[in-house]
Amino acid sequence: MLAKLHQDHLNIARLLDLLKSKLNAINEERPVDYALVRDVIDYLLEVADKYHHPKEDLIYDYYLKYRLVEGEVSQRLQLEHACLAETGTQLKEMVEMILLDAVIPLDQFTAKLAQFIILQEGHMNYEEGVVFPHLRDALTEDDWRQLEQQWQNRAIGDPLFGPEVSQHFQELARRLSLPAS
């Protein structure tokens, strides 16, 4: 399960690199495909809400139930997940307004986009550097089997990096040179 979450992080990092390139283009006053920016944010919100964060929460809740953990650590992931969702939703709303030709101050948009990227990267770095190694050390093979069993009942396919790319993300897959379904 952690290997899959790590792969998710690598995929998210690719998308964050794409967002960084769009942020640089905006700052350099080059044209930007805002529909592509919206698609990246859509993907990050959809997969985070429906798949990635629920899987992390399942593992961490299980860990908290059976292991003694300090309070600060036990709440940080949930707070960061909520902050990422809120910032992502605000950013998506801004992009939608831009696509509808509404006037959005560019400095506000670039600040929100930069904040979103920084939050995503900081969150992944915390999980990869602190949380995942701790879980690897603390949970047994039996624990992982139980978690896998629990997750199987809720698993959904990744709409971009999974075996089939959803129609909504076809253009994004093309831009990332992923095989389309």
106 has pLDDT over 90: yes
What percent of the chain lies above the pLDDT cut of 70? 92
C-alpha 92/C-alpha 175 separation (Å) is 19
In degrees rounded to 5, what are phi and psi of residue 97? -65, -40
pLDDT per residue as tens digits for the range 111-121: 999 999 999 99
C-alpha 54/C-alpha 157 separation (Å) is 13
C-alpha 91/C-alpha 110 separation (Å) is 10
When comparing pLDDT for 47 and 66, which is higher? 47
User: Which of 168-174's residues contact partners 24+ apart within 8 Å by CB, and which partners?
Assistant: 168/39, 168/42, 169/39, 169/42, 169/43, 171/35, 171/36, 171/39, 172/36, 172/39, 172/40, 172/43
Q: What does the pLDDT read at residue 72? A: 67
Domains parsed from the chain with CATH numbers: 2-175 (1.20.120.520)
Question: What pTM was computed for the model?
Answer: 0.89
Q: How many other CB atoms sit within 10 Å of the CB of residue 57?
A: 13
C-alpha 173/C-alpha 156 separation (Å) is 18
Q: What does the pLDDT read at residue 181? A: 46
pLDDT per residue as tens digits for the range 66-80: 776 665 666 788 889
1 has pLDDT over 90: no
What mean pLDDT, rounded, does the chain reach? 88
101: left (phi > 0), else alpha (psi -120 to 50), else beta?
left
At residue 48, the 3 state secondary structure works out as: helix
Q: What angle do CA 127, 92, 130 make, to 5 degrees?
A: 5
Q: How many other CB atoms sit within 10 Å of the CB of residue 166?
A: 16
The pair of three-digit structure tokens given for residue 130, joined into one six-digit string: 């602190």
